[in-house]
């Protein structure tokens, strides 16, 4: 053994001896205190255990307090405002960003939520989330009110999320607010631009197409090259006109101030009109359109103008995307107690799985292999379909098994008068 090892061993021995003496010292002190208090040995042991338990509980409480401070620090760094409320919608916790979002100097814990946010839309959303026990998300425009010292949030847009909390954490709900005013205003500017530009383009384009038709009527003595040029001009002029009309349709559907002209109409007649309108596209092809609707009235309350577009776009989409023979397009309807289920399906080439999430987006065209001479559409038809169905309070789903069946399923709530 080296001198260093001997020294370390000696030092360890002295340390253990000192610790043992200190432990005996505190044990003797504890016995002296117990005798002074008149405690028996058993009571003394219990008191010692209780003191150890109290010390452990204090350490646990300090750890929880430290964890709480860490979580609160993290929650103060996010951009969203976060609030925890109890079952009576009294505030249990609010992070620092909430004060900035609401332009408040302080958010008072213990006060009712409505007194702090000053907008009943938010408190109603939280009440719905608690009552229905589900996560709820909604975009709202704040109502005019005097929030804070001279500040007013009226007109600003917020995304509000709320969800109930479990009973083991005190119940109530959490609420998150995010200011999306800038993105909402940008979206509105884009919509206004599309609507205004479409209106401004429609009139001159109508004149241009009119002159093209007039030149075609007087082209008896024109050269073959001139006739081909006029045909190409007519073809693309009509395509531009279709894009403009589609953009106007989307603008009207997205305009919150625009209302639908809802009236009872026969859905079967609407589908038949669309099929008759598109019948010339099937001439000379091995393809057909089948209608499957129940006997009697097939009534639905809605805007017939948009339903004409819905059926026309869906059927036309199937015709354009499927050039192989044997195409069968089936339009069906089913009426249940509280909903109407409409389907448009075909047995064509289908839609690849990687395209399914994007087919309802504007200008999205999945078949990128089309040549410039094969104009398949504007890429707006399915976007219009989705917007129109949602404007009627319904939903639309798409399923596709390439080469077997592609189906658009629309579910509409029925209004009982």
The pair of three-digit structure tokens given for residue 137, joined into one six-digit string: 């998300």
Q: Does the pLDDT value for residue 101 go beyond 80?
A: yes
Q: 405-413 and 287-292: which strand pairing?
A: unpaired
Best CA proximity match to 176, nearest among 90, 93, 109, 112: 93
- The CATH number of 263-413 is which of 3.30.70.420, 3.30.565.10, 3.90.1150.10, 3.40.50.620? 3.30.565.10
**What was the pLDDT predicted at 241?**
83
Contact 174, 84 (CB under 8 A): yes
Tell which CATH architecture fits domain 184-254. Answer: Orthogonal Bundle (1.10)
C-beta atoms surrounding 412 within 10 Å: 22
Look at residue 330 in the predicted model and tell me its pLDDT.
94
Residue with the two structure tokens 């083991």? 168
Q: Does domain 81-179 have CATH number 3.30.450.20?
A: yes
Q: Kindly state the DSSP code that residue 13 receives in the 8-state scheme.
A: H
Q: What is the pLDDT of residues 291-325, one digit of tens each?
A: 999 888 888 888 898 999 999 999 998 988 888 88
Least confident of 33-42, 69-78, 92-101, 327-336: 33-42
Tell me the per-residue pLDDT of 135-183, one tens digit each, with 9 for 90 and over. 888 888 887 765 444 456 777 889 999 999 888 878 889 898 988 888 8
Give CA separation, 391 vs 255, 261, 301, 388, in Å: 10, 11, 12, 5
As a whole number of angstroms, the distance between CA 270 and CA 309 comes to 10
Q: What is the mean pLDDT of residues 392-409?
A: 90
- Phi/psi for 119 (5° steps) reads -150, 115
How far lies 300's CA from each of 303, 416, 417, in Å?
Answer: 9, 10, 12
- In the chain, where are the structural domains located? 20-75, 81-179, 184-254, 263-413
Helix, strand or coil, per DSSP, at residue 71: helix
Global pTM? Answer: 0.58
Do 410 and 346 touch, CB atoms closer than 8 A?
no
Both structure tokens of 58: 């204090």
Contact 104, 118 (CB under 8 A): no
d(Cα 320, Cα 314) in Å, to the nearest integer?
10
């Amino acid at each position: 053994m080296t001198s260093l090892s001997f020294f370390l061993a000696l030092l360890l021995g002295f340390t253990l001896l000192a610790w043992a003496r200190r432990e005996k010292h505190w044990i003797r002190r504890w016995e002296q205190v117990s005798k002074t208090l008149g405690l028996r040995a058993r009571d003394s042991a219990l008191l010692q255990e209780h003191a150890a338990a109290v010390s452990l509980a204090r350490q646990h409480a300090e750890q929880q307090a430290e964890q709480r401070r860490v979580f609160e620090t993290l929650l103060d760094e996010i951009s969203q405002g976060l609030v925890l409320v109890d079952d009576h919608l009294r505030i249990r916790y609010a992070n620092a960003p909430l004060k900035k979002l609401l332009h408040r100097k302080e958010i008072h814990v213990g006060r009712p939520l409505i007194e702090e946010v000053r907008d009943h839309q938010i408190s109603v959303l939280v009440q719905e989330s608690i009552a229905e026990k589900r996560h709820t998300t909604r975009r709202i425009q704040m109502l005019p009110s005097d929030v804070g010292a001279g500040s007013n949030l009226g007109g600003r847009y917020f995304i509000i999320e709320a969800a109930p909390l479990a009973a083991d954490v005190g119940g109530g709900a959490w609420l998150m607010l995010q200011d999306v005013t800038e993105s909402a205003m940008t979206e509105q500017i884009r919509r206004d631009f599309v609507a205004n530009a479409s209106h401004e383009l429609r009139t001159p384009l109508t004149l241009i197409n009119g002159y093209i038709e007039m030149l075609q009527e007087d082209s008896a003595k024109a050269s073959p090259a001139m006739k081909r040029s006029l045909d190409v001009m007519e073809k693309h002029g009509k395509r531009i006109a279709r894009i403009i009309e589609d953009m106007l349709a989307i603008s009207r559907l997205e305009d919150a101030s625009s209302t639908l002209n809802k009236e009872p109409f026969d859905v079967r007649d609407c589908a038949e009109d669309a099929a008759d309108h598109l019948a010339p596209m099937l001439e000379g092809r091995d393809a057909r359109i089948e209608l499957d609707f129940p006997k009697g009235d097939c009534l639905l309350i809605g805007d017939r103008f948009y339903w004409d577009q819905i059926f026309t776009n869906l059927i036309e989409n199937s015709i354009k995307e499927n050039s192989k023979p044997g195409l069968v397009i089936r339009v069906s309807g089913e009426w249940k107690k509280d909903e109407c289920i409409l389907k448009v399906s075909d047995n064509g080439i289908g839609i690849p799985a990687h395209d399914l999430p994007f087919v309802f987006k504007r200008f999205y065209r999945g078949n990128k292999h089309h040549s410039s001479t094969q104009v398949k559409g504007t890429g707006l038809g399915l976007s219009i379909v989705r917007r129109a169905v949602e404007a009627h309070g319904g939903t639309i789903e798409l399923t596709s098994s390439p080469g077997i069946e592609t189906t658009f399923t629309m579910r509409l709530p029925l209004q009982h008068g």
